[in-house]
């Protein structure tokens, strides 16, 4: 596999990943990384690039890990494939078993939770502080589209972030968010390393699979490079969200705040009020409705009034106070399906 490591190290993405790890993911030089590998092109390319970076001393120990969910017969073969790949690169594969409840309302969501828990625990046991996964620009575009369809605000449109805590002392890192699927396949081809195709990526097999085949593929034909540009837009949205969050926190308190004095909000910009309600509501909030409520709150009317705020939330104002009322039980759970990252 020496030739594969040389090819990976020479690939333009190797430098991109090295920079992403140090700047966006806060992975210090020499730090060890546990990397989730499913055997697909994305995670195979990530393992190759990390192995090349380890060779040149840019990062420390690389620990490939395969999570067996015991949901598909093909998983046994996938685990064996990843084991051979890891061994050929000089690594010992960390095999992790999780057992989602097949009768659970959302098996994929439960499997995702168990997978991250297992990876986090394995990182702790290996005394490494970072778990790397292979989410890339095409995944980011899908995430942003799902957030858009859920009615998310700026935070949702910022997509997946390069780093987030998994638990105390362990961070999930995504050093490939600027890379496209095509670039990752190119890494595997240049290294002459094969990969597996995941049946769950097929159209109709999952929400993301349907998006990939029916929506983002069409977008890429209409706007080549759309995924890479969307990833940059996500970064801009994330920066805007940080600034907006600070402004809204100063003006309207934290997201748990549900009661304000009318006098205070009359001195607050109407757009800030509307977005402040939206930050509390998150997915599905109706900006037009919260903007109408904000305008009413700042006028001179003193009688009790109520406005819908979207997703079952309501805003109530009298002469002295303003309340944000959470959905009643029968309204909860309404909305498009969500896929966490």
* CATH for 7: 3.40.50.620
Q: What are residue 67's phi and psi, to 5 degrees?
A: -100, 115
Residue owning tokens 């309600």: 277
- Is 56 a domain residue? yes
Residue 230 corresponds to which tokens in the numbers above?
Answer: 């969307």
- Is 195 a domain residue? yes
How confident is the model over 118-130, as pLDDT tens digits?
A: 999 999 999 999 9
How confident is the model over 309-324, as pLDDT tens digits?
A: 999 999 999 999 999 9
Q: Based on the domain organization, do 117 and 188 belong to the same domain?
A: yes
Q: Sheet of 313-317: strands edge to edge?
A: 259-261, 321-325, 313-317, 305-310
Q: What is the pLDDT of residue 111?
A: 95
Q: What is d(CA 298, CA 282) in angstroms, rounded to the nearest whole number?
A: 23
Q: Under 8 Å CB-to-CB from 269, ≥6 apart: which residues?
A: 251
How confident is the model over 178-236, as pLDDT tens digits?
A: 999 999 999 999 999 999 987 666 656 678 888 988 999 999 999 999 999 999 999 99
- Is 204 a domain residue? yes
- Is 134 a domain residue? yes
Q: Based on the domain organization, do 36 and 63 belong to the same domain?
A: yes
Q: Based on the domain organization, do 158 and 292 belong to the same domain?
A: no
Residue 267 corresponds to which tokens in the numbers above?
Answer: 């001195």
- Is 339 a domain residue? no
For residue 138, give the nearest of 219, 35, 78 by alpha carbon: 219
Q: Based on the domain organization, do 227 and 300 belong to the same domain?
A: no
Domain end call among 181, 205, 234: 234
Cβ(37)–Cβ(79) under 8 Å? no
Say what the pTM is: 0.88
Domain end call among 234, 263, 281: 234
Q: Based on the domain organization, do 27 and 154 belong to the same domain?
A: yes
Q: Based on the domain organization, do 174 and 146 belong to the same domain?
A: yes
N- to C-terminal Cα separation, the chain: 32
For the chain, helix (H) and strand (E) counts, in that order, are 14, 10
Q: Based on the domain organization, do 321 and 177 belong to the same domain?
A: no
Q: Based on the domain organization, do 9 and 124 belong to the same domain?
A: yes
- Is 286 a domain residue? yes
- Domain hosting 7: range is 2-234
3-state class of 288 per DSSP? helix
How confident is the model over 122-179, as pLDDT tens digits?
A: 999 999 999 999 999 999 999 999 999 988 888 889 999 999 999 999 999 999 999 9
Q: What is d(CA 332, CA 27) in angstroms, rounded to the nearest whole number?
A: 40
Domain count, the chain: 2
- Is 178 a domain residue? yes
Q: What is the pLDDT of residue 333?
A: 44
- Is 160 a domain residue? yes
Q: What is d(CA 319, CA 299) in angstroms, rounded to the nearest whole number?
A: 10
Given a cut of 70, is residue 334 above it in pLDDT?
A: no
Q: Based on the domain organization, do 225 and 261 belong to the same domain?
A: no
Q: What is the dihedral angle through the alpha carbons of 79, 81, 85, 90, rounded to the nearest 10 degrees?
A: 50
């Amino acid at each position: 596999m020496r030739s594969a490591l040389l090819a990976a190290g020479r690939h333009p993405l190797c430098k991109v990943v090295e920079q992403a790890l140090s700047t966006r993911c806060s992975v210090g030089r020499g730090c060890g990384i546990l990397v989730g590998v499913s055997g697909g092109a994305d995670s195979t390319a990530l393992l190759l690039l990390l192995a090349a970076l380890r060779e040149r001393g840019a990062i420390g120990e690389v620990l490939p890990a395969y999570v067996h969910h015991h949901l598909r017969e093909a998983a046994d073969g996938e685990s064996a494939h990843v084991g051979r790949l890891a061994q050929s690169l000089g690594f010992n594969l960390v095999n992790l078993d999780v057992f989602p409840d097949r009768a659970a309302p959302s098996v994929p969501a439960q499997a995702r939770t168990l997978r991250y828990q297992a990876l986090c625990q394995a990182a702790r046991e290996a005394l490494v502080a970072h778990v790397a996964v292979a989410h890339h620009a095409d995944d980011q575009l899908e995430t942003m589209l799902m957030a858009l369809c859920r009615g998310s605000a700026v935070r949702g449109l910022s997509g997946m972030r390069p780093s987030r805590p998994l638990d105390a002392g362990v961070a999930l890192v995504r050093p490939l968010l600027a890379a496209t699927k095509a670039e990752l396949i190119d890494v595997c081809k240049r290294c002459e390393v094969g990969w597996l195709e995941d049946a769950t990526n097929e159209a109709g097999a999952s929400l993301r699979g349907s998006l990939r085949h029916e929506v983002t593929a069409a977008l890429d034909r209409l706007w080549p490079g759309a995924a890479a540009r969307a990833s940059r837009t996500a970064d801009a949205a994330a920066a805007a969200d940080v600034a907006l969050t600070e402004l809204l926190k100063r003006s309207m308190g934290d997201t748990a705040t549900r009661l304000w004095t009318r006098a205070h909000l009359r001195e607050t910009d109407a757009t800030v009020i509307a977005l402040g309600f939206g930050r509390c509501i998150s997915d599905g909030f109706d900006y037009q409705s919260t903007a109408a409520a904000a305008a009413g709150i700042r006028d001179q009317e003193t009688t009790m009034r109520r406005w819908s705020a979207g997703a079952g939330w309501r805003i109530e104002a009298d002469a002295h106070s303003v309340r944000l009322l959470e959905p009643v039980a029968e309204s909860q759970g309404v909305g498009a399906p969500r896929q966490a990252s």
